[in-house]
Every structure is written in structure tokens, then in C-alpha cells.
Amino acid sequence: DNGGSRNPCEEVHAGTHATSEIETKHLQNFLCSHSNLIAYLNVHTYGQYWIYPWGYTPILPTDYRDLDHLGRSAATAIRHTHGRTFTVGEDTRVLYAAAGGADDYAKGACGVKYSYTVELRDTGLHGFVAPTSYIIPAGEETFAGFKAFATELVHYEHL
């Protein structure tokens, strides 16, 4: 349970058992019932990260170079939109250990090759309660990042 807590009052509470929460169960069912998924983007706030598995161990996925390449394409597009820099890398190396991440599950259990958690702006000044003035620029840069990611994915995977 590296990165999770058994204490229900903690922000990183792992639940009573795997998929104990109904939202988690529905996401699990969706991801694993769509075997043709090639990418999964889990969007959070905050921190300005484009991170990929694994969140529970510092061991890199065997295809980490592919994950890194596409993540960097997105981060470059984001930077060119409003100047925000997003850090790209494996979860435990650029952020911290966080067990039970949806990106880990999508990749490890459901075989979704390009699986990420995208932590939107900012880097901590406002935390989880960003001002309304962030909505439009965050949307613009996120769209630019997703568009660059999708474009590069099509090219990179010959889709």
C-alpha cells in the first residue's frame, strides 16, 4: 500500500478494499470492458504535472520512453499556450508515491498503453481552489496539450 493510508480521515485513504467506492468500480468496469483503448488521461488539479505510471513504485514501465515522449509533446504545447511549464515523468520520481491511481490501473490491469494523470495549474499558490480567472487559460492550455498529445499519438502509433 505504498502511497495509501488505512485511515479514513487521510486524503490518501485507500478505502476498505480494492474498488470499495462505487465511482472506482464504475471506472474499473469501463476501462477493462473497452479493450481497444490506447490512451487514458486522468485530470486533476494542481501541480502542473503530466505523470505516468507507476505511482506505487519507482520502477519504470518498460515503455516509459514512449510515455515520456508523448507527455513532453503535450507539455511543450501547454508551455507555448500561456507559458506554464509542466513537469513530465514517472509518478514517484517527479511527485510522490501514490498507490491506487487510475492511471496505474488503466495501464497495469486493463492494458491501456498511454496512461497518465494530468495535474492542472497552478504549482501550489492556490492549491485545489483555483481562482475563476484560471478557468479560461487552464482550459486553453489543457486543450492545446490534449490536441498535441492526440496528434503525436496518431503519428507515433501510425493510427
Nearest CA to 31 out of 102, 118, 114 is that of 102
In a domain, 5, yes or no: no
120 domain residue, yes or no: yes
Question: Beta-carbon neighbour count of residue 24 at 10 Å?
Answer: 15
- Whole-number pLDDT of residue 2: 63
Structural domain contains residue 114? yes
CA distances from 110 to 6, 23, 58, 71, 79 (A): 25, 17, 20, 20, 31
Structural domain contains residue 22 = no
Residue 18 lies in a domain: no
Q: Is residue 27 part of a domain?
A: no
In the prediction, which pLDDT does 119 show? 96
Judge whether 119 counts as a catalytic residue: yes
Identify the active-site residue in 11, 23, 90, 119: 119
3-state SS class at 113: coil
Q: Which domain holds residue 101?
A: 37-124+134-156
pTM: 0.89
> Is residue 96, in this structure, part of any structural domain at all?
yes
Domain annotation covers residue 51: yes
Instruction: Kindly state the helix (H) or strand (E) to which residue 89 belongs, with its residue range.
Output: strand 87-90
**Residue 18 cell numbers, joined:** 480494492
What is the pLDDT tens value at each position of the chain, 159 positions in all?
566 777 888 777 777 887 888 888 999 999 999 989 999 999 998 999 999 999 999 999 999 999 999 999 999 999 999 999 999 999 999 988 888 889 999 999 999 999 999 999 999 999 888 899 999 999 999 999 999 999 999 999 988
Q: Based on the structure, what is the number of domains in the chain? A: 1
